């Protein structure tokens, strides 16, 4: 991400005639977008990167002109992103590994008291009890 932010600063400082700068600020001139989910444009990816690092897109040009200010903003943004990412990853992990007790009480087999993780699992398990026993 740090390299991407450095590249964005470099593009902002380019002259308007250079291709990367034109791509950053361009829109679709002719034709239409294709149906369905649209591919992300370069500017969309830059906006997402700035949002992740909590850098205001409206101040991008002003921040990118001063190298020291840009460096400090990027450093703070990357630190914030890292902390938020770690917290969100930990929360996702906890959500995956916690078992909700009220839900599991209703997903218990009435024949053998086996607890299933989902309704589909309980239905599949109950089919075992409905099979005719085969004796040879």
pLDDT tens sequence across 34-79: 677 666 777 788 888 888 888 888 888 888 888 888 889 889 988 9
Tokens of 129: 């009890």
In a domain, 34, yes or no: no
Closest among 105, 128, 127 to 116, alpha carbons compared: 105
| 3-class state of residue 27 by DSSP | coil
Average pLDDT over residues 10-39: 73
pTM for the full model?
A: 0.54
pLDDT score of 27: 61
In a domain, 36, yes or no: no
The secondary structure of residue 41, as a DSSP letter, is P
Structural domain boundaries, residue 111: 101-130
Per the structure, how many domains does the chain have? Answer: 2
């Amino acid at each position: 991400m740090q390299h991407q932010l450095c590249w964005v600063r470099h593009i902002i400082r380019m002259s308007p005639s250079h291709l990367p700068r034109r791509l950053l600020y361009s829109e679709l001139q002719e034709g239409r977008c294709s149906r369905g989910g649209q591919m992300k444009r370069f500017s969309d990816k830059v906006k997402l990167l700035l949002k992740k690092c909590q850098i205001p897109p409206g101040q991008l040009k002003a921040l990118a002109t001063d190298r020291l200010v840009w460096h400090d903003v990027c450093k703070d943004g990357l630190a914030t992103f890292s902390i938020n990412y770690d917290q969100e990853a930990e929360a996702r992990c906890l959500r995956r590994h916690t078992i909700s007790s009220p839900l599991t009480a209703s997903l218990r087999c009435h024949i053998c008291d086996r607890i299933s993780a989902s309704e589909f699992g309980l239905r599949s398990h109950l089919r075992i009890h409905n099979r005719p026993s085969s004796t040879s």
